[in-house]
Structure 1
């Protein structure tokens, strides 16, 4: 890993979108669970579709915050969702198919459409990427390029955000101010730096006022940046890994509810789009699990009773010291890469435990996520690493500026603000300069948890409610306690441009809790 502290800046200016040429697709013959960290690619869509797409269109949105039309097929907003669906385990966990970079390039197509898909034992109308509720994982390496032909077949505008990734926020890269209109095709192009951290990221839509609806409807998938093996002891390189993508949906009839979402309403939780799948492991075996909350709003407190998670990366950033946790609170957008060692032979439930977000927030009940079956010939448990990856430390860096960011909401919990203002894409709320460090105090002046997230550059948490925090590595999402505060420091590297910070409870973001950050050269 390149030490970001002493690295000279490299600015990437995206080129004009180009029509994509041909590519070679390889299909995985085994999309199921037990596989090593090096995998075979599976295509997102057939090559014929990619070659047939020849026109591109994207515009900067000039609409007001409520100018988007409501999907004609959406259920009435007043309808309450059905009770959460539960089931006994019936099938093994299926890791998502993958599109993998070859020769430093990942070239693929993503088609966005509303489609009926098999989900939780029934056929359900969902918002999909390439016709799937759980779309393929995009897998690449630091320094790679990624080119995506993005086709919008929805009735609404949309766009694409690569959450947590250090890449340009401008042009046809990770630009959340783009609006891909219905029926249009756009070419995204990303040039990732060699210093991109290995770990787990994800992709989802980010059109203001529609982010929650589209993500809750099913539009989210995983991105994996390879490279964690370089920090593993030899005995743990190439071990079995699993994506554990946590997605939930509220069901009304035969369709996923996307309008008038209530965080505390009954919701069905899935892993990789499966209801209570079976995860197989041998007693004593060590596996790498990529725990990722890629839903719109809700929290998870994940635990495997009797087994400890050993965290090796958080939010796509490897830790400097592996640490143990019996349970992990994972807000929407956050990820943990963990080592898990198989318990004694038997069956254990992977659970989300009860979690309360505050007296003005929501109480999330316990639920079963998956069933872990430990079976087969026992293995001698491997010695787990302690020291891991080098990390930056901004504690002694000169601070170029200090900012206070206050999260507030109205009494009804229907409108949300940053520093007393609702989001306006035409207004710059905060400024920073490349190659400087700023210290931000994020204050939560409400009675419920808010999740702070910033695009383009991740951050170091310095303190929570005045208590200094151990620096195990940077992150991109952090909870701010009710009536409390956190202090973070962030360095602005490589990429000038206009980007955003917001609460990653997408209901709150869509209702105004987002601000514009301008990074100047």
Structure 2
């Protein structure tokens, strides 16, 4: 396979325990003269791939080894800021959104550390996911400058048909860089650390930390590509193989969830920002070069060896789906649980900029929840934490049959309706635009999943403890206290003046008496 694969960390005996850092590092990019100085996981670009099993516990001692660099702007709400503050997001994992798990409202400051711990359900479907920082205000800067790692939930023994289980794997971590945009964000957040030197152009994409690497495969052999699109700005990956009649692609999974109608022949995979795709690839001609194209041109090159391997066409296969992935296309939406979610050009969700503590929508365990995507949905990829969702209407983009009704995603772009059913995890469920430049400015919201089965849903934002409300309440309280103190001071002064007047009168009367 490719000679430039990220290192791998494996779980053992039901646990993957590792020490992880975000730190300043400078890396030289293979196949180029590019040098990148930025905040990277363990000083690597990309970080190591974590491979875990369903039911495993993931323990990460996460250390923020950054220091406040030359007066970088501290946190300013819904503004590019907090360049040296960070946290972790387990993008795509079906795990709790509360601490010590995937709570992206938690902040790990410079010099601080936090022990993340999350346990995957035994029923967690195997698949391809990833991990990246998600500190509101600095998400786009940190992800856009290279902080990302793959997470693979392994297929248990005898889970896959032999054609897939025995196929060689290629990890394809595609990371997008936009020099001018990063410079703009840097300037606004007063960041002095990030620096990209000798870039071949203003925009470029690295694969496994290299510029246009070469991937070697055997002709005639099926190879599984695990593709991650670490996009934070704009644009689908549009992964395709420019073949002279010698290669084919069969879709296996999207966003870490196997499709129901495998194998699905495609010519191109329009993977949206933050999305993933597992694709079975077969190129028949020996000793041949094939270009993998995507956003910005050539991403990598496939070269086939001279060792031909015979293989049969892929056979149909459908995995057993756990309860959190039950088919909801024919289900009845629970009363009050169909809500509209709209992204627009003002960096808001439903016209409301992100506020800590503000709840946009609520649901409950066992509900069938529907979200109607509106507004500028064709321009903003919708990403949902904790629970993936099923496409129920819309989204047939007629682009090589990549999207089909009934497919599951955790990020999607376009008008349509989606459904999911909370089964086990209560608490925070974050939703946001995965053009992270918008998320940092306020295009994010928090939903809440309640514990009570048979509860109620709400589509109305509850502003009770939002940051703006807290500030408003605090300001009001300060004003009230000031008024009370002022009134008390005024009354005290009046009493003093009155007492003085009484004393003066008494003195006058005494003088008159003495006369």
Q: TM-score range by the shorter chain?
A: 0.7 to 0.9
User: 1: CA distance between counterparts of 2:159 and 2:139?
Assistant: 36
Alpha-carbon RMSD across the aligned residues, in angstroms, is 2.2
Contact 2:340 2:374 (8 Å CA) reproduced: yes
Q: How does 1:297-316 map to 2 (within 5 A)?
A: 297-299=233-235, 300-306=237-243, 307-316=247-256
Task: State the Cα deviation string for residues 426-446 of structure 1 (Å, max 9, x = none).
Answer: 211110101111111010337
Residue in structure 2 matching 1:287, options 223, 226, 233: 223
Residues 248, 283 of structure 2: 8 Å contact kept: no
CA contact (8 A) 1:312 1:319 kept: yes
Verify: 1:417 aligned to 2:348, yes or no: yes
Between the aligned partners of 1:320 and 1:347, the Cα distance in structure 2 is 32
Partner of 1:498: 428
Candidates 258, 283, 287, aligned match of 1:342 = 283
Q: Hey, what does 1:216 align to over in structure 2? A: 144
Does structure 1 residue 106 correspond to structure 2 residue 16? yes
Instruction: Give the Cα separation in 1 of the matches to 2:252 and 2:395.
Output: 25
Partner of 2:447, secondary structure, is: strand
- Are the aligned partners of 1:296 and 1:506 in contact in 2 as well (CA < 8 Å)? yes
1:199 matched residue in structure 2: 127
The aligned residue for residue 16 of structure 1 is: none
- CA–CA separation in structure 2 for the residues paired with 1:169 and 1:222: 19
Change (3 A) 1:438 1:275: same
CA distance in structure 2 between the partners assigned to 1:206 and 1:97 by the alignment: 23
Residue-pair matches, total: 404
- 2:64 maps to 1:124: no
Q: 2:261 — aligned with what? A: 321
SS in 2 for 1:227: coil
Q: Report deviation, 1:425.
A: 1.4
Q: Which residue of 2 aligns with 1:454?
A: 384
User: Quick one: structure 1 residues 200 and 175, their matched pair in 2 at CA, closer, same or farther if it must change by over 3 Å?
Assistant: same
- Cα separation, partners in 2 of 1:487 and 1:260, compared to 1, 3 Å: farther
Report the TM-score when normalising by structure 1: 0.74
Counterpart contact for 2:431–2:447, Cα < 8 Å: yes
Hey, what does 2:87 align to over in structure 1?
159
Residues 282-330 of structure 1 show CA distances to partners (whole Å, capped at 9, x for unaligned) of 1101111001102322321110023332111110111122111100111
- Measured against aligned partners, the alpha-carbon deviations of 1:69-89 in whole angstroms (never above 9, x if no partner) come to xxxxxxxxxxxxxxxxxxxxx
Trace 1:317-466 onto structure 2 (pairs within 5 A). Answer: 317-322=257-262, 323-345=264-286, 346-352=288-294, 366-391=296-321, 392-400=326-334, 401-409=337-345, 415-445=346-376, 449-464=379-394
For the residues of structure 2 that align with 1:221 and 1:251, how far apart are their CA atoms? 21
Contact 2:394–2:405 under 8 Å retained in 1: no
Q: Higher helix proportion, which one?
A: 2
Q: CA deviation at 1:332?
A: 1.4
Q: How many Å separate the matches in 2 of 1:284 and 1:166? A: 35
- Choose 344-353 or 182-191, whichever is displaced more: 344-353
Structure 2 residue runs of 5 or longer lacking an equivalent are 69-83, 189-200, 452-515
- Please identify, of 496-505 and 117-126, the stretch whose mean Cα deviation from structure 2 is larger: 117-126
CA, structure 1 residues 320+273, in 2 after alignment: closer, same or farther (shift >3 Å)? same
Looking at structure 2, the residues matched to 314 and 491 of structure 1 have their Cα atoms a distance apart, in angstroms, of: 19
Shift of 1:385: 2.5
CA contact (8 A) 2:206 2:212 kept: yes
Work out which of the residue numbers 508, 511, 516 in structure 1 matches 2:438. 508
Q: Which has the larger radius of gyration?
A: 2
Give the secondary structure class of the aligned counterpart of 1:308.
strand
Is residue 214–residue 258 contact of structure 1 (8 Å, CA) maintained in 2?
no
For normalisation by structure 2, the TM-score amounts to 0.75
Report the Cα distance in structure 2 between the residues aligned to 1:371 and 1:445, rounded to whole angstroms: 35
Do the aligned partners of residues 228 and 350 (structure 1) sit closer, same or farther apart at CA in structure 2, a change above 3 Å counting?
Answer: farther
Answer yes or no: is the 8 Å Cα contact 1:282–1:375 preserved in 2.
yes
Match of 1:489 among 413, 419, 431: 419
Flag the 1:349–1:512 CA change in 2: closer, same or farther, 3 A: same
- 8 A contact 1:221–1:294 mirrored in 2: no
Q: How far did 1:258 drift?
A: 5.2
Unaligned runs of 5+ in 1: 1-32, 34-91, 354-365, 410-414
Equivalent pair of 1:466/1:486 in contact (CA under 8 Å): no
